[in-house]
Chain A
Amino acid sequence: MSSAASFISRMGEHATHLVRTLHARDPVTNQPAVTWDAVGDFDCGNFDCDDFECADCISIMVKTTSSREMDLPAGRVTEERLRIYTMAEIAHQDRVLYHGKTYEIETAPIEHYLSGSIRYRDATLVKVS
């Protein structure tokens, strides 16, 4: 494992990866229902981790990028964004549980190849709850 990938795996934090799935369309709006489910990535990357409770766990490195507040007629909205770096196969609009909060992957993840087989991704997340 390259030094960068190894660094992400061993020095980062853990989060839970929730994969987005589209379901049947609503009979009124015709929009599909959406769920986010933990599917078992087995990708936390820690050499000594074989804990089954860790099935949906991914290793991430996190950088807080922005936080701002807006006033809407119904109340104040706090918008928080993170940038994460991970070796897991995250996808646009998947979700990540991190420190008890839910974040949605707002941008298509950018893949960085460190070698033919080792790569990591980075993406911007926005807090949804």
Chain B
Amino acid sequence: MAATDPKTTIFDGVVANLGVITKDDGATAASVLHVWEGGPETLKYLFFSAPAPGPYDVVITYGSPRSRSARPIQDKPVHYLMSYPIAVSTTDKRSADALVCTATRMQYKITYALRQAVAAFAQSGAGATPAYTLSVQSDITTYKRVGGLEIYETTHVVEYETDYG
């Protein structure tokens, strides 16, 4: 059995490599929460009431994978492709009279930073166990009005390819 859950590998790699995400002014650091999906907090709490380092401007949740096996060449060992969803949620944040975090602008900043971050640890080190390669396969953005919130949510699918089951 592999020592590290791929979700932990992806989570730790993104946290370490995402860098500083700034608010609309391009200077003030935004507050970004990385968390496994299914936590006990509500989105309104995370965006507007959570104690420091919150309230958060961006919530990035790491989901569970959809997997399939592949054997591209006969007699070669099977390897596995696991698609992990990373959902990025943002909402417009306002100060007294102006937007300080525009949801769609934050989405693009995260998309750009996430592609750079995944590239930074896209391949396991030589001889590492488990050996893996990673890439961002796709992303799709949706807009939802739910519970009095206007949520922009982008699901990035990161494919983790490895040779163990």
Contact = CB atoms under 8 A, between A and B. Distances in A.
Interface of A: 22, 25, 28-32, 34, 93
A93 B34 CA distance: 23
A93 B38 CA distance: 15
A29 B41 contact: no
A31 B8 contact: no
Contacts of B127: none
A32 B40 contact: yes
A93 B36 contact: no
Interface in B11-46: 11, 33-36, 38-41
A29 B8 CA distance: 8
Interface residues of B, number: 10
B40 A93 contact: yes
A30 B40 contact: no
A80 to B, nearest CB: 21
A34 B42 CA distance: 13
Contacts of A25: 35
A30 B40 CA distance: 11
B40 A29 contact: no
Contacts of B35: 25, 29-31
Give chain A's interface secondary structure class.
loop
Nearest to B39: A31
A59 B33 CA distance: 39
Nearest to B45: A22
A31 B7 CA distance: 14
11 contacts: A22-B40, A25-B35, A29-B35, A29-B39, A30-B36, A30-B39, A31-B39, A31-B40, A31-B41, A32-B39, A34-B40
Nearest to B40: A34
A93 B42 CA distance: 10
A67 B101 CA distance: 44
Nearest to A25: B35
